[in-house]
Chain A
């Protein structure tokens, strides 16, 4: 049977391109381009694989800013059918993010909601559970594999100690890990086609009380010596000396 799937995706600054302001010690995010968050790609891939086998429709919801259209186009190229961009994201706040997403999801038809377990930038790991609570749905998280038959979804979750097999009746919320799958690189033709597809955009109206105040946001201190040897022999000698010292 076909499944309607909502995938929750995220745009993040390209972390590798972030430089540090030497006087304030703060990371500079202004002007850093956004990219498709890693786990969001795994989520889209998981949804597309289900659709390829069973049919159905994939709707992606992205809570971010205007620049999110680029990410949405990539999601289209991977196989997403419809994209909804909600603007108004200011900073990492999982409770707010979950409320914004859940409010939108409630207006859609779906059998499954799929998202990443921990995003590559804020890494909070909170959104899946919060969305499941808002929607009052079963949570199957940290999936390393997903299996669907009729209205039943089975998931294998890898914890630090066990592999747990879970089962729930749809609709359900599933979070995936980066080991779930290898996201596809869509062919150029698909990317060009995706560029023409429309994206519905709206502004978030959800407000919540937030008691936390940021005191500082600095780059972690790194006072490494950075002695880099291209002469392998000299380097090996120096490193051996250092290791002998550490063994004492």
Chain B
């Protein structure tokens, strides 16, 4: 079996290559320069250069798919990846199974798992699909010692003009590696509140994370600290949710945590259904108390 992989994010590229190791040959197409990507056993790495036009990338991948003897296409579920996959699916008229977090290869079919109903269901399905988008957290990151050759290809330009590309702030943190995560939600109320959470983060030698509104809407925390369906998928030994209501899209990113602690002033908050230990009350009173007992 031969896989065509696309990821514009280093972590997801590493995870999918770790996952596919031993299951077949694979070639990684990426816009990421990272030398470290060469250690995962890809037959080769194709570095795509030029402006990241999604139509251009999908046409390029679609040509490579036809000429390169590939069986299956795995595209990272990122902002660009989802567009590329949907254009690929449309161009080739092939069905796509989106947002998978597990895949097994049978003879002629695949069995995949993805969330439905916003995370309230796990849909396990069997299909003849050849095209998938996969969520971050598909597998652990297990580098080997190979060294894949790197080739470059230029992305063809499309009808959409790319006027400017501004880099966001560099990634600060690798939440996947954290032992303990202290996550804050909208219940924090204000950016200054972070200072009052930091003593707890320090005391448990943890990492700070947040819900989507906290990271993407209010920018109280950097975007790479967002946990959830459209953020990071984490599995720490302990996950402490402070002022997070526990909407399914958030839960989808922390469900694998070993122990979950929740602090919320609303005793009916759904997060308590997903917690091992919960405290009902104001996080600003409770956090210092926890610190005092540590």
Which residues of A approach B to under 8 Å, CB–CB?
12-13, 15-16, 18, 26-27, 29, 92, 94-95, 98, 117-118, 120-130, 132-134, 138-142, 154, 157-169, 178-179, 210-220, 222, 224-230, 232-233, 235-244, 246-247
A125 touches B97 (CB 8 A): no
Residues of A within 8 Å of B240, CB to CB, are: 239, 243
Q: Kindly provide the distance from the CB of B126 to the nearest chain A CB, expressed in whole angstroms.
A: 5
Q: Kindly provide the distance from the CB of B277 to the nearest chain A CB, expressed in whole angstroms.
A: 5
A166 touches B125 (CB 8 A): no
On whether A224 and B163 interact (CB within 8 A), knowing A129-B82, A159-B80, A212-B127, the answer reads: no
Complex CA–CA separation, A180 to B117 (angstroms): 23
For this complex, 8 residue pairs linking A to B, each with C-beta atoms less than 8 Å apart, are A15-B248, A123-B99, A126-B85, A130-B89, A139-B54, A141-B82, A217-B121, A228-B280
On whether A121 and B124 interact (CB within 8 A), knowing A236-B286, A244-B294, A247-B205, the answer reads: no
Complex CA–CA separation, A168 to B54 (angstroms): 13
Complex CA–CA separation, A140 to B53 (angstroms): 10
Inter-chain contact count A-B, CB under 8 Å?
A: 277
Complex CA–CA separation, A95 to B179 (angstroms): 40
Residues of A within 8 Å of B96, CB to CB, are: 94-95, 124, 126
B259 touches A118 (CB 8 A): no
Complex CA–CA separation, A163 to B166 (angstroms): 5
Interface string of B233-247 (1 = CB under 8 A from A): 000111010000000
A139 touches B87 (CB 8 A): yes
Residues of B within 8 Å of A126, CB to CB, are: 82, 85-86, 89, 96, 98, 133
B127 touches A213 (CB 8 A): yes
B163 touches A159 (CB 8 A): no
B42 interfacial by beta-carbon distance below 8 Å: no
Residues of A within 8 Å of B294, CB to CB, are: 240, 243-244
A98 touches B90 (CB 8 A): yes
Select A243's contact among B52, B128, B167, B180, beta carbons within 8 Å: B180
B273 touches A222 (CB 8 A): yes
Select A229's contact among B79, B87, B118, B280, beta carbons within 8 Å: B280
Select A211's contact among B95, B123, B224, B258, beta carbons within 8 Å: B95
Residues of B within 8 Å of A27, CB to CB, are: 117, 120-121
Number of chain B residues close to chain A: CB under 8 A: 92
B87 touches A133 (CB 8 A): yes
Residues of B within 8 Å of A26, CB to CB, are: 121
Complex CA–CA separation, A215 to B114 (angstroms): 12
Residues of B within 8 Å of A133, CB to CB, are: 86-87, 89-91
Partner-contacting stretch, out of B138-146, B154-162, B185-193: B154-162
Select A232's contact among B90, B158, B270, B281, beta carbons within 8 Å: B281
On whether A228 and B179 interact (CB within 8 A), knowing A94-B96, A128-B86, A212-B95, the answer reads: no
Residues of B within 8 Å of A154, CB to CB, are: 163
The 7 closest A-B pairs by CB, nearest first: A129-B86, A133-B90, A212-B127, A240-B293, A235-B279, A125-B82, A246-B238
Residues of A within 8 Å of B127, CB to CB, are: 211-213
Task: Across the interface, name the chain A residue whose C-beta is closest to B109.
Answer: A211
A212 touches B97 (CB 8 A): yes
Give B191-226 interface residues, CB cut-off 8 Å to A.
204-205, 212, 216-217, 223-224
B165 interfacial by beta-carbon distance below 8 Å: yes
Q: Kindly provide the distance from the CB of B211 to the nearest chain A CB, expressed in whole angstroms.
A: 12
Select B124's contact among A141, A217, A224, A238, beta carbons within 8 Å: A217
Complex CA–CA separation, A92 to B179 (angstroms): 36
Complex CA–CA separation, A211 to B97 (angstroms): 11
B126 touches A129 (CB 8 A): no
Select A240's contact among B89, B270, B290, beta carbons within 8 Å: B290
Give B105-133 interface residues, CB cut-off 8 Å to A.
111, 115-129, 133
Select B216's contact among A123, A179, A222, beta carbons within 8 Å: A179
B9 interfacial by beta-carbon distance below 8 Å: yes
Q: Which of A159, A165, A169 has the most CB of B within 10 A?
A: A159
Q: Kindly provide the distance from the CB of A170 to the nearest chain B CB, expressed in whole angstroms.
A: 12
Residues of B within 8 Å of A238, CB to CB, are: 277
Residues of B within 8 Å of A240, CB to CB, are: 290, 293-294
On whether A163 and B124 interact (CB within 8 A), knowing A211-B129, A243-B180, the answer reads: no
Residues of B within 8 Å of A118, CB to CB, are: 82, 230
B15 interfacial by beta-carbon distance below 8 Å: no
On whether A213 and B86 interact (CB within 8 A), knowing A29-B117, A167-B161, A246-B259, the answer reads: no
